[in-house]
Amino acid sequence: MASSAPSQSGRVFRFGPFELSEQDGELRKNDVRIKLQEQPLRVLVELVANAGKVVTRQQIAEVALGRPLNVFDRSVDVHVSRVRKKLAALHDGDDLIRPIRGIGYFLGAEKPEKSKV
């Protein structure tokens, strides 16, 4: 599960071996900066800020991408896929973000409960 610590520069999230600074727009692992494009980074902030909860595709589109989700729009999935691949490559292949079919995504160590979906 992710933990959040307020700081003068905004929220800082820690999850697994990673640290994400919302204000600085930086993802780090062991103090090494990991490059992510702006939209995938915003998607990751939304997922980490809601760790342990299912985040809908609509919520990601509205909050992280700043627009409503179109029925045929796959941009949320593309951005989440980029984040998942980057994190898995840096975390021994572990997939920290789980897709919830037809709904959205879940970031957390445990499986999402049905009541959270």
Q: Is residue 3 within 8 Å of residue 11, measured between CB atoms?
A: no
Higher pLDDT, 116 or 61: 61
Please compute the mean of the pLDDT values over residues 49-73 and round it to a whole number.
90
d(Cα 59, Cα 104) in Å, to the nearest integer?
A: 9
Beta bridge partners of residue 107, listed in sequence order = 97
Closest CA relative to residue 107, chosen from 5, 16, 38, 23: 16
Give yes or no for residue 69 having a pLDDT over 80. yes
User: What percentage of the chain carries pLDDT values higher than 90?
Assistant: 48
The structural domains of the chain, ordered by start, are 3-101 (1.10.10.10)
**Can you give the pTM of this predicted structure?**
0.81
Tell me the per-residue pLDDT of 7-30, one tens digit each, with 9 for 90 and over.
Answer: 444 899 999 899 999 888 899 999
Give yes or no for residue 62 having a pLDDT over 90. yes
